[in-house]
């Protein structure tokens, strides 16, 4: 007769067998449903959508900023810079009491600085001109992107997405309106700005 | 525990049923063994094996490769066994069960392999009176030969709970065998 420990250890050495393993395998395989195709997680899609909306808004702001800055006349900027350089130059000349060699050196430095500032001014102006077009293009790009995404989303999400687009559009409209008001104020024509919100109808005129 | 290659699992996660068939063939005996010892019923054990693989298939994309795949399957199977045990009590020991145990413990033929119905009667005799958790820990650690760490991972119990459940289960079974006339040493 086995001892208790012997019984337990002998049980561990053995393992029950499935009477018909292939039959069980087939039974299991037949009961497996097809796995659904992997869809991007909703959270990820929402993040993508929000990122697109933010990018579009940022592009609009960039566009407006660049447009506003472009209103500054380059000739005015250049004359201001030149004026400042000349003022500095004359003040330097007044301070110099040392031999002419020093004056010549100082003048050379001033000339260099002046040339550098002129080059920089020209670069800034050129940059302003060149960045205007890509900003507009990028806005178009994001609008295209939003359209493509809307075309792909399920019907259940479409209405929600459209509501978000409408909200983003309202924000965009506010930005544009504030820009127009700002421009009009700057030009000293506040009455035109007021008219935007007080459009006279035919009934009023009567 | 048996381990399979990551590539097979990756294919399964891509929805490849042929790869999953290989997984089923590799692990079905291991799960059947656990389920039979827990439930003491061959058909119930097969149902649990089937249910385990269906659930594993449906959740294969959420499987964390850091956990051994066998442990993951054991976890699913052991929960299903516990649920069935709660829903339906395991059948009580019958007088004829003692005859099977005596024949096994006689040591006349140590090479003889136990039949499934003999397994059922033996585990029914030994595990009677154990709680569901004690029975699970005893089956995993004593009968399946898994380590305490593996049992912790499968059951979600901590080391102290595993140790205490295993201790109580062993003591209960020893007392039962002693009462049936078997010697301790």
Q: Token match 């299991």: residue? A: A28
A29 CB near a chain B CB, below 8 Å?
yes
User: What residues contact residue A42 under an 8 Å CB cut-off, 6+ apart?
Assistant: none
Q: In this predicted structure, what is the pLDDT of residue A8? A: 85
Residue A77 pLDDT > 90 = no
A189 has a pLDDT exceeding 90: no
Q: How far apart are CA B20 and CA B56, in angstroms?
A: 10
In this prediction, residue A196 has a pLDDT band, given cuts at 50, 70 and 90, of: very low
- Residues of B within 8 A of A17 (CB-CB) are 29, 113, 116
B48 located within any domain: yes
- Among A132-146, A184-198, B48-62, B95-109, the range with the most confident prediction by mean pLDDT is B48-62
Confidence of residue B149 (pLDDT cuts 50, 70, 90): very high
Residue A151's pLDDT is what? 81
Answer whether residue B154 is part of any domain: no
pLDDT of residue A31: 93
Residues 6 or more apart from A103 whose CB is under 8 A from it? A93, A96
Closest-CA residue to B32 (of A16, A10, A150, A107)? A16
Q: Is B54 on the interface with A (CB under 8 A)?
A: yes
Give A156 to chain B, closest Cα distance, Å.
25
CA distance B26 to B9: 13
In this model, does residue A92 exceed pLDDT 60? yes
pLDDT of residue A197: 47
Give the residue-averaged pLDDT of B21-42: 94
The larger pLDDT score, comparing residue B74 to residue A126, is at B74
Phi-psi region of B181 (alpha: psi -120 to 50; beta: other; left: phi over 0): left
Among the residues of chain A, which ranges form H helices? 4-13, 21-30, 42-70, 74-95, 100-152, 155-186, 190-197, 202-205
A4 with B183: Cβ contact below 8 A: yes
Q: Residue B27 falls within a domain, yes or no?
A: yes
B20 contacts in A (CB within 8 Å)? 29, 32
Alpha carbon separation from B119 to A24, B37, B41, B114, B127 (Å, rounded): 19, 7, 10, 6, 12
**What is the distance in angstroms between the CA of the first residue and the CA of the last residue of chain B?**
30
Q: How confident is the model over B46-63, as a mean pLDDT?
A: 95
- A155 pLDDT exceeds 60? yes
Please say if the pLDDT value at position A195 is more than 80.
Answer: no
Token pair for A118: 């002129």
More confident site: A12 or A90: A12
For residue A199, pLDDT over 80 is answered with: no
What contacts A15, CB < 8 A, 6 or more positions away? Answer: B29, B33
Average the pLDDT over A138-165 and give the result: 80
- Model confidence at A178, pLDDT cuts 50, 70, 90, reads confident
Q: Does B32 touch chain A (CB under 8 A)?
A: yes
B49 touches chain A (CB under 8 A): yes
The boundaries of the domain holding residue B85 are 1-89
CA distance B94 to A141: 79
Give the mutation candidate from A3, A10, A28 for the B interface (greatest B CB count, under 10 A): A28
- A39: three-class secondary structure by DSSP: coil
Does A31 contact chain B (CB < 8 Å)?
A: yes
B30 with B2: CB under 8 angstroms? Answer: yes
B67 in any annotated domain = yes
Span B46-70, mean pLDDT?
A: 93
What mean pLDDT is reported for chain B? 89
How many structural domains does chain B have? 1
Instruction: Enter the ipTM.
Output: 0.87
Determine, for residues A32 and B183 on separate chains, whether the beta-carbon distance falls below 8 Å.
no
Find the mean pLDDT for residues A138-167.
Answer: 80
pLDDT of A111 over the 70 cut: yes
CB contact under 8 A, B33 and A15: yes
Mean pLDDT for A149-169 is 81
Q: How many CA atoms lie within 13 A of A9 on its CB side?
A: 7
Distance from CA of A47 to the nearest CA of B (A): 22
The pTM is what?
Answer: 0.57
Higher pLDDT, A136 or A15: A15
A202 or B182, higher pLDDT: B182
Q: Do A28 and B24 touch (CB under 8 A)?
A: yes
Cα separation, A93 vs A87, whole angstroms? 10
Question: Cβ contact (<8 Å) for B32 and A14?
Answer: no
Confidence class for position A191, pLDDT limits 50, 70, 90: very low
Q: How confident is the model at residue A123, as a pLDDT? A: 63
- Whichever domain contains B46, its CATH number is 1.10.1740.10
pLDDT in tens, A26-52: 999 999 988 877 665 667 777 888 888
In a domain, B54, yes or no: yes
Q: Do B86 and B46 meet the contact criterion of CB atoms below 8 Å apart?
A: no
Asked whether residue B61 is domain-assigned, the answer is yes
């Amino acid at each position: 007769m086995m001892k208790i420990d012997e019984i337990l250890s002998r049980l561990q050495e053995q393992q029950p067998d499935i009477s018909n393993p292939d039959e069980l395998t087939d039974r299991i395989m037949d009961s497996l449903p097809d796995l659904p195709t992997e869809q991007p997680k909703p959270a990820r899609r929402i993040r993508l959508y929000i990122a697109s909306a933010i990018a579009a808004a940022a592009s609009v702001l960039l566009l407006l900023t660049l447009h506003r800055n472009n209103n500054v006349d380059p000739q005015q900027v250049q004359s201001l810079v030149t004026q400042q350089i000349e003022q500095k130059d004359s003040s330097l000349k007044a301070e110099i009491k040392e031999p002419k060699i020093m004056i010549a050196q100082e003048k050379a430095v001033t000339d260099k600085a002046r040339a550098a500032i002129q080059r920089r001014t020209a670069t800034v102006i050129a940059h302003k001109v060149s960045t205007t077009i890509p900003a507009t293009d990028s806005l178009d790009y994001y609008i295209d992107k939003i359209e493509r995404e809307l075309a792909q989303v399920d019907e259940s999400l479409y209405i929600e997405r459209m509501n978000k687009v409408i909200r983003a559009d309202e924000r965009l409209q506010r930005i544009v309106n504030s820009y127009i008001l700002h421009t009009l104020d700057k030009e000293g024509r506040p009455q035109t700005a007021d008219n935007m919100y007080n459009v006279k109808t035919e009934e009023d005129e009567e | 525990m048996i381990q399979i290659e990551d590539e097979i699992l990756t294919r399964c996660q891509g929805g490849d049923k042929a790869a999953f068939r290989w997984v089923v063939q590799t692990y079905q005996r291991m799960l059947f063994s656990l389920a039979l010892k827990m439930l003491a019923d061959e058909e119930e054990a097969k149902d649990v094996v089937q249910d385990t693989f269906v659930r594993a298939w449906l959740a294969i994309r959420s499987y964390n490769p850091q956990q051994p795949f066998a442990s993951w399957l054991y976890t699913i199977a052991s929960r299903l066994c516990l649920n069935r045990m709660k829903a339906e009590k395991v059948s009580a020991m019958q007088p004829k069960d003692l005859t099977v145990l005596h024949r096994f413990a006689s040591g006349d033929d140590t090479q003889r392999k136990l039949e499934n119905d003999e397994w059922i009667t033996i585990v029914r005799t030994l595990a009677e009176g154990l709680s569901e958790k004690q029975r699970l820990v005893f089956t995993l650690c004593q009968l399946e030969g898994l380590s305490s760490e593996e049992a912790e991972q499968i059951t979600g119990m901590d080391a102290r709970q595993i140790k205490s459940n295993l201790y109580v289960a062993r003591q209960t079974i020893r007392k039962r065998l002693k009462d049936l006339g078997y010697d301790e040493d």
